[in-house]
Amino acid sequence: MALFNLFKKEEPHALGIDIGSSAIKIVQLKKKNGQAVLETYGELALGPYGGAGIGQAVQLPTEKLSQALTDLMNEKEVNVTTKECGLSIPFSSALMSLIEMPDVDVKQLSIMVPLEARRYIPVPISEVMLDWSVIPKSGIEPEPSIDSGRPDAFPEVSIEENKPGLPKIDVLVVALHKQTIARYQEIVNKAGLAAGFFEIEIFSTMRSVLDNTLKPVLIMDMGAASTKIYIVERGIVRASHTVNRGSQDITANISKSLGITTEQAELRKREEGIAGTDKTLTEVVSLILDYIFTEVNNSMLAFEKKYNRTISKVILVGGGAALKGLSEAAKSNFKTEVEVALPFNKVSTPAFLDNILRETGPEFAVAIGIALRKLAEEK
């Protein structure tokens, strides 16, 4: 899908890249009068590069991912004008821990944190790139990233060496394997880009869809191959869970139940979702959604039981969030507020694109979050 070059070239620019399982999304922003302004954005399906259809998750080698990224940037309607970018890293590739440390200055922490992190990282520290961020008590979102075991739960640990009575702070430690960084670095380099930083996708999403609320929020990120559930409070991911069901499972169910091709099923899903008049189609789609909704409810109940706090709202993001009727179905299944993410609201956009950006916005949450951070770092 080719999109639009909206504004004439002007510095500074920031490019955010999100390489998902079924598509690559990019967003380029510029800063004008202190405000983030949308310059261009685009999406390209990865399925055809792996012999699969649009909307299908594929595992591609570095060369094909780099080619797909290059093809997307070369779309004449996209017209990327900067080589400096930020890149998201899949949540499943990260190792994280929330550790308690003495409240000392940053220089001392920079020595203490890597030493303490050795206790909680199951691989040699020399094989990972480490970053950390102090969690503000005010509730402001932290932004751990990595400059140039799957975390389904973040263990809260404390160091035994702390002296009694010494003030404590929470530090979020993030580690990515150097091989993972090298792979993504190779992808962007072969596409002629330079990655200034790498960031785990959930932190990019948080930047683009959350406000400054201190209340717990559940983010339901529905992708092609899976649905990721995050519970966020004070900028901390308190709990996470991956459901092995996604939008491609809905397509497969439609294809099998209605006896149509995968391509036809994908089209029916996008055109009708569960908001159409075909009861059979609605029932088929609901089979997958009911499974996902059950997992979301279980995650909410587990959090509320552990922390004695309730989820204030559920935010729907990811390509699957564009499914027609999903928001209404979610509202009938969750006993809390539900909203579809509107990440493009964080940037200035032309009024004539309001409708399409509202519809496609949820799947660009990560790319927008990356671009916003990159823009903030530009001088």
Residue 36 pairs with which residues in a beta bridge?
Answer: 31
Three-class secondary structure of residue 128 per DSSP: strand
The reported pLDDT for the residue numbered 330 is 97
Confidence of residue 268 (pLDDT cuts 50, 70, 90): very high
Q: Is 2 exposed, middle or buried (0-12, 13-18, 19+ CB in 10 A)?
A: exposed
Q: Does the structure show a pLDDT above 50 at 234?
A: yes
* Averaged confidence pLDDT in the chain: 87
21-30, 156-165, 294-303: range with lowest mean pLDDT: 156-165
Q: How far apart are CA 43 and CA 305, in angstroms?
A: 40
The reported pLDDT for the residue numbered 363 is 96
Confidence of residue 8 (pLDDT cuts 50, 70, 90): low
The reported pLDDT for the residue numbered 6 is 54
Mean pLDDT to the nearest integer, 341-365: 94
Q: Does the structure show a pLDDT above 50 at 236?
A: yes
| DSSP label at residue 5 | B
Q: Which residues contact 164 (CB under 8 A, 6 or more apart)?
A: none
Q: Does the structure show a pLDDT above 90 at 286?
A: yes
Mean pLDDT to the nearest integer, 74-85: 91
The reported pLDDT for the residue numbered 3 is 53
List the alpha helices (DSSP H) in 135-220: 178-190, 201-209
Q: Are strands 13-19 and 23-32 parallel, antiparallel or unpaired?
A: antiparallel
The reported pLDDT for the residue numbered 310 is 95
Q: Does the structure show a pLDDT above 90 at 267?
A: yes
**% residues pLDDT > 90 (the chain):** 65
Q: How far apart are CA 285 and CA 84, in angstroms?
A: 41
Q: Which domains does the chain have, with CATH numbers?
A: 13-90+180-207+342-377 (3.30.420.40), 93-176 (3.30.1490.300), 213-340 (3.30.420.40)
The reported pLDDT for the residue numbered 5 is 56
> String of b and e for 193-227 (b: at least 16 CB within 10 Å)?
bebbbbbbbbbbbbbbbbeeeeebbbbbbbbbbbb
Q: What pLDDT digit, counting tens, does each position of 178-225 carry? A: 999 999 999 999 999 999 999 999 999 999 999 887 899 999 999 999
Q: What pLDDT digit, counting tens, does each position of 129-149 carry? A: 888 888 776 444 445 555 543
**% residues pLDDT > 70 (the chain):** 89
Q: Does the structure show a pLDDT above 70 at 348?
A: yes
Residue 85 pairs with which residues in a beta bridge?
Answer: 15, 195
2-11, 134-143, 332-341: range with lowest mean pLDDT: 2-11
Confidence of residue 153 (pLDDT cuts 50, 70, 90): very low
